[in-house]
């Protein structure tokens, strides 16, 4: 819900900061300029999208199912190890900057494997009967891993990655097929909330898990008040944007797109080779600025729009969104959705765009990393062949 437009009023942001509603118009303008930049970029490249493609169908098949199976389970086990060791997930200690790219590769591969397996299953491309078993095991372990991480997005992402090929293949779920999943989600939602809260008091995940179970079963599963609060939390992105609009002049960490010069190489160059490449610590820097403190591990975000505005106002905002849209348009041109590779790239990138929290520099950086990892994945595990389409 948007804050009151009465400029004599203030809006509470991040639970402690009162921001004048005089910044409401600025914030709305920030959003409009960002969307305008995207529309402008799409219009510029529209003529390229309409160009006729070569009339060839590109298909893929597994080189070796056993190798694919072992690799997929190995990646999932590595992800589980990262969560259990408190390297990733809610309240994690994190990794050193030199190891962050390795963690990103593992996370990307986990999503790529799941999307590929679901595609083979629902489009009935691979006839190996074990594909079904692999898919169900992967979904179950991914959901369990997501819950163990204490982050709702890690539970939602596997579901989305499976639903995209499911619906794209023309499947329509029956009502009775939805009953059990709905009941499971109604139970897991409060359990996940309680687990996150328990992790603050009990860093050991097993202890936190038992505490969460005890709290869940000793209270109402899902109250109307909790539902309203949780839902309102998801739609309060405008208030943080107000804060971003109000402190642009005080923000000096990254300004005027000066870090974008690193984009061509930062996504693959290790930090010991490129020590000055930008780090994704802007959220903690913003929190330190807001609280006027020197050290914290808390991270906040003024939304993707706010980060672009903090680069130096409306012009950097327009340029960054324009560049972002150009990158996405070229990906659509190069990797069409009519084959598996384009489909996997689309699915994995879509889940990164659900949350409007990270800034565009790191979004583009992540896109380059994702496409690189997917390209290596396809070279290693899949054979490509072309089929000439005929109009009979």
pLDDT value of position 168:
85
Contacts of 244 (CB under 8 A, 6+ apart): 27, 302, 303, 305, 306, 307, 309, 310
Residues 13-21 have a mean pLDDT of 65
Please give the helix or strand (H or E) that residue 387 lies within, else none. Answer: strand 382-388
Residue 298: the pLDDT is: 73
* Burial of residue 369, with CB atoms counted within 10 A of its CB: 0-12 exposed, 13-18 middle, 19 or more buried: middle
Q: What is the pLDDT at residue 222?
A: 45
Average pLDDT over residues 203-222: 57
Q: What is the pLDDT of residue 224?
A: 44
Q: What whole-number distance in Å separates Cα of residue 66 and Cα of residue 62? A: 10
What whole-number distance in Å separates Cα of residue 354 and Cα of residue 349? 9
pLDDT at 176: 67
Measure the CA–CA gap between 373 and 378, rounded to whole angstroms.
9
Res. 89: pLDDT tops 60: no
36-49, pLDDT tens digit by residue? 999 999 888 775 55
- When mean pLDDT is compared over 15-29, 106-120, 296-310, the highest value belongs to 106-120
Radius of gyration of the chain (CA): 23
Contact criterion met (CB below 8 Å) for 85 and 92: no
pLDDT, residue 336, reads 80
More confident residue, 355 or 117: 117
Q: pLDDT exceeding 70 applies to what percent of the chain?
A: 67
Phi, psi of 384 (to 5 degrees): -105, 140
CB contact at 8 A, 364 and 259: no
* Residue-averaged pLDDT of the chain: 76
How many Cβ atoms from other residues are within 10 Å of residue 154's Cβ? 23
Residue 381 pLDDT > 60, yes or no?
yes
* The pLDDT of residue 79: 84
Query: What pLDDT is recorded for position 190?
Result: 65
Can you give the pLDDT at residue 320? 94
pLDDT of residue 234: 45
Q: What is the pLDDT of residue 372?
A: 92
Q: State yes or no: pLDDT of 385 exceeds 80.
A: no
**DSSP-assigned letter for residue 1:** -
Does the pLDDT value for residue 274 go beyond 60?
yes
Is residue 233 scored above 50 in pLDDT? no
Confidence at residue 226, expressed as pLDDT on a 0 to 100 scale: 45
pLDDT tens per residue across span 357-376: 788 999 999 899 999 999 99
Q: Does 338 or 258 have the greater pLDDT score?
A: 258
pTM: 0.79
> How sure is the predictor about 317, in pLDDT bands with cuts at 50, 70 and 90?
very high
| Local confidence band at 196 (pLDDT 50, 70, 90 cut-offs) | low
Higher pLDDT, 224 or 273: 273
- pLDDT tier, 133 (very low <50, low <70, confident <90, very high otherwise): confident
Q: Work out the pLDDT band at 278, boundaries 50, 70, 90.
A: confident
> With bands split at pLDDT 50, 70 and 90, how would you rate the model's confidence at 326?
very high
**36: number of Cβ within 10 Å:** 14
Cα separation of 354 and 227, whole Å? Answer: 20
pLDDT tens column, 73-83: 899 888 888 87
């Amino acid at each position: 819900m948007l804050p009151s437009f009465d400029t004599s009023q203030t809006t509470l942001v991040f639970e402690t900061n009162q921001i004048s509603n005089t910044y409401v118009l600025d914030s709305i303008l920030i959003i409009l300029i960002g969307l305008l930049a995207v529309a402008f970029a799409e219009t510029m490249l529209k003529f390229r999208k309409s160009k006729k493609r070569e009339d060839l169908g590109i298909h893929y098949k597994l080189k070796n199912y056993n190798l694919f199976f072992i690799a997929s389970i190995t990646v999932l086990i590595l992800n589980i190890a990262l969560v259990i060791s408190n390297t990733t997930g809610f309240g994690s200690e994190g990794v050193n900057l030199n190891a962050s790219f390795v963690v990103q590769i593992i996370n990307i591969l986990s999503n790529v494997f799941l999307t590929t397996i679901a595609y083979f299953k629902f489009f009935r491309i691979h006839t190996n009967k074990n594909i079904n078993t692999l898919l169900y095991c992967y979904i179950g372990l991914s959901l369990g891993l997501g819950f163990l991480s204490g982050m709702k997005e890690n539970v939602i992402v596997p579901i989305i990655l499976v639903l995209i090929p499911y619906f794209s293949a023309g499947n329509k779920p029956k009502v009775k097929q939805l009953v059990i999943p709905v009941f499971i989600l109604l139970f897991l939602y409060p359990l996940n909330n309680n687990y996150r809260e328990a992790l603050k008091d009990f860093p050991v995940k097993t202890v936190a898990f038992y505490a969460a179970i005890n709290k869940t079963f000793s209270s109402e599963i899902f109250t109307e008040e909790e539902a309203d609060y949780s839902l309102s939390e998801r739609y309060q992105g405008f208030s943080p944007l107000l804060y971003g609009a109000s402190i642009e002049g005080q923000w000096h960490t990254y300004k005027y797109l000066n870090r974008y010069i690193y984009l061509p190489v930062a996504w693959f160059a290790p930090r010991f080779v490129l020590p000055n490449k930008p780090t994704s610590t802007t959220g903690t820097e913003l929190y330190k600025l807001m609280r006027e403190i020197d050290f914290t591990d808390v991270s906040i975000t003024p939304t993707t729009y706010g980060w672009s505005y903090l680069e130096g106002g409306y012009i950097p905002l327009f340029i960054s969104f324009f560049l972002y849209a150009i990158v996405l348009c070229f990906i659509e041109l190069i990797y069409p959705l009519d084959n598996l590779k384009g489909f996997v790239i689309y699915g994995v990138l879509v889940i990164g765009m659900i949350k409007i929290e990270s800034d565009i520099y790191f979004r583009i950086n992540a896109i380059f990393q994702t496409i690189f990892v997917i390209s290596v994945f396809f070279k290693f595990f899949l054979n490509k062949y072309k089929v000439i389409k005929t109009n009979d």
